[in-house]
Structure 1
Amino acid sequence: MDWDNLRYFLEVARCQRISLAAQRLGVQHSTVARRIQALEQELGLRLFHKSTVSGYSLTSDGLNLQQRLEPVENRLLAARDALAGKARPLSGTLRLGCTEAFGSYVLTPLLSQFQACYPDLTLELLPVPRPISLSRRDADLAIALERPQRGPYWCTRLADYNLRLYAHADYLSAHPPIEQIQDLSQHRFIAYVDDLLFSDSLRYLEEIVRSAPVRFRSTSVIAQYQATLQAQGLAVLPCFLAQTDPRLRCVLPEQIELRRRFWMFCHEEQRHNPSLTRLWHYLKHAVQERQALLDGA
């Protein structure tokens, strides 16, 4: 396959606009459209849903292609940096904003490994239960549950992850058995504060059991995790947070599984920052290597 066609495809997949992709690539709008059409004809696949309102959104085949291409792109960019002599020691400060549990339990170990390779680089991690605003310069790099819908951002899908229903072993032994979803109506739950949710993707219980009796609420998933450890009730938790804790039991694992996605993005002007691009490609590779943890395997 023609790598230029693939490169143009990746740019359109990230910004969802032909005109913006052309601007970033430094070519004409018609050139990008022609490249995308050529790639779709070569593969015999439809890669984008095209809309005058929402722009170019990936089809399932397009998403599959993006997931396969990005590791190749990462290796090419790393090779380019090394050959161009850019693999010099990095310095300065980078601030990374992300969701609370992912930042604390997945990213922190990864960032420690990254910093061991670049000891002159200072990293600031903001794992917070709220959205990070790059327009207000809250951070240089953000990882969020939702892709930014507008703005001059460089964006990529970082990883998908699973959530399941968990309870402490002591809670399960003291309450009626749970053999099917209907049995959940006899139990109490731990959840987010509804009117303070920063993303609709956090409305987990609505997908499992309606009118669930919630006895403890918190804006913090780590607080929910701690409440679950105190045997206060059932909670939907990320597998990367709960699956490795032997005190917790997964409830109805064959029937209840939710899947969500992390997006990573930065401001367009930061795209050529050597420190940020090095961290960007490192995280893409390192998080992909930990997909089993995110899946709760």
Structure 2
Amino acid sequence: MNDWNELRLVLAVCRTGSLTAAAERLRVDHSTAFRRLKALESRLGVRLFERSAGGAYEATEAGARMAAAAERMEDEVLAMDRDITGRDHRLSGRLRVTSSETLAFSRLTRHLAAFREAHPGIVVELTVDNRVLNLSRREADIALRPVRPKEGELWGRRLANVAWALYASPEYLEAHGGALAHVAELEGHALIGWEYAASGIQAAEWLARTAAADAFVYRTNSLINQFVAARAGIGFALLPCYLGDSQPGVVRALRAPVPELEGELWIVAHSDLKGTARVRAFFDVVGEGLARERELFEGRFDANDAVRPASSAVPSRFIKKRRT
């Protein structure tokens, strides 16, 4: 087999279980991917995939063996790429970063601006994605993750803990008796939550355990949209404190963060890249900048009473009302 693209196609179909998804991943159109796969099967004289009743592509024994060989080749190429990139001492070139939607919206961009000012030769490509991207496969160079990394080949540091609390618009609270003293007082309030299909989201699971199903009047898979809905007065939203405490239009509906929802914020890269100048510079400027906002991430100021000073991470105009 002389064409690496053929192996990449087999591997992509095997990983995604879909010819359409594989074509999207390889950035070719569906008809091209279909034609290449059929031509490869015809030349080899063997079927590499069978179509299931649901339309999924399931690898045959030959397809699985070819995909395994392609993965070994990919691992070698990626290791070589990381090794070469890890020796790059230039403060120029491309740097691919991935972050969650809420972090990119509320905190990250200002630090990226500082990074660009300090290192104008580095082009940042930000992928806003709530999934955990694979750094070994170079889906990104640096990841800002809301969970402690489990992969042994990653290198990085914890920037802060992340607190979560309930928020609502001041108008909603005024119309419904003011802020809550305890989470048990949620009964009778309108809630904003995740879509029914959401799974593996700790905050969504806590809400489902804490409140009755009929309390949810609005659902969305976007935390930013949940914030917007709370600001519009629809009801209570469970938000990370770095989002809720830094944005105008919402205040804490429950004074204290929810202790069992405390998470972490990590900045990580593959250990092969820790000598790369671009990666080191990003850790120094953006990582340290986010770490300096630890108090905001951890919800450790009196959100209902305090007025933040102008020099703080939260502008002074974001005033939290005292419960009366």
Amino acid at match of 1:243: D
Q: 1:121 offset after TM fit, Å?
A: 0.7
Q: 1:251 offset after TM fit, Å?
A: 1.4
1:39-75 deviation per Cα after TM superposition (whole angstroms, max 9, x unaligned): xxxxxxxxxxxxxxxxxxxxxxxxxxxxxxxxxxxxx
Distance (Å, rounded) in 2 between the aligned partners of 1:243 and 1:294: 9
Task: Report the TM-score when normalising by structure 1.
Answer: 0.63
Amino acid at match of 1:225: F
Report which of the two structures shows the higher radius of gyration computed on alpha carbons: 2
Amino acid at match of 1:240: Y
Pairs within 5 Å for 1:189-268: 189-197=191-199, 199-200=201-202, 203-206=205-208, 209-211=210-212, 213-254=215-256, 256=258, 258-268=261-271
Amino acid at match of 2:113: S
Q: 1:255 offset after TM fit, Å?
A: 6.9
Cα RMSD of the aligned pairs, angstroms, is 2.6
Q: 1:109 offset after TM fit, Å?
A: 0.3
Alignment of 1:291 onto 2:306 = no
Distance (Å, rounded) in 1 between the aligned partners of 2:296 and 2:257: 20
Distance (Å, rounded) in 2 between the aligned partners of 1:227 and 1:163: 17
Contact 2:195 2:221 in 1 (8 A): yes
- Which residue matches 1:28? none
Q: 1:206 offset after TM fit, Å?
A: 4.9
Contact 1:94 1:122 in 2 (8 A): yes
Distance (Å, rounded) in 2 between the aligned partners of 1:122 and 1:277: 15
User: Secondary structure of 1:186's partner?
Assistant: coil
Task: Report the TM-score when normalising by structure 2.
Answer: 0.58
Alignment of 1:152 onto 2:145 = no
1:196-234 deviation per Cα after TM superposition (whole angstroms, max 9, x unaligned): 345446534257x24352222222110111111111110
Amino acid at match of 1:172: L
Pairs within 5 Å for 1:156-195: 156-177=157-178, 178-195=180-197
Distance (Å, rounded) in 1 between the aligned partners of 2:249 and 2:222: 20
Amino acid at match of 1:108: T
Distance (Å, rounded) in 2 between the aligned partners of 1:283 and 1:201: 26
Which has the larger strand fraction? 1
Give me the identity figure in percent. 28
- Which residue matches 1:104? 105
Amino acid at match of 1:269: D
Amino acid at match of 1:156: R
Q: Gaps (5+ residues) in structure 2? A: 1-86, 302-324
Contact 1:132 1:139 in 2 (8 A): yes
Contact 1:129 1:219 in 2 (8 A): no
Amino acid at match of 2:220: S
Contact 2:181 2:255 in 1 (8 A): no
Return closer, same or farther for 1:194/1:156 CA change in 2, 3 Å cut-off.
farther
- Which residue matches 1:271? 274
Q: 1:259 offset after TM fit, Å?
A: 2.0
Distance (Å, rounded) in 2 between the aligned partners of 1:125 and 1:222: 17
Q: Gaps (5+ residues) in structure 1? A: 1-85
Contact 1:97 1:125 in 2 (8 A): yes
Contact 1:104 1:127 in 2 (8 A): no
Distance (Å, rounded) in 2 between the aligned partners of 1:227 and 1:136: 37
Contact 2:241 2:297 in 1 (8 A): yes
Contact 2:155 2:270 in 1 (8 A): yes
Distance (Å, rounded) in 2 between the aligned partners of 1:252 and 1:126: 33
Alignment of 1:115 onto 2:141 = no
Contact 1:197 1:219 in 2 (8 A): no
Amino acid at match of 1:288: A
Amino acid at match of 1:127: V
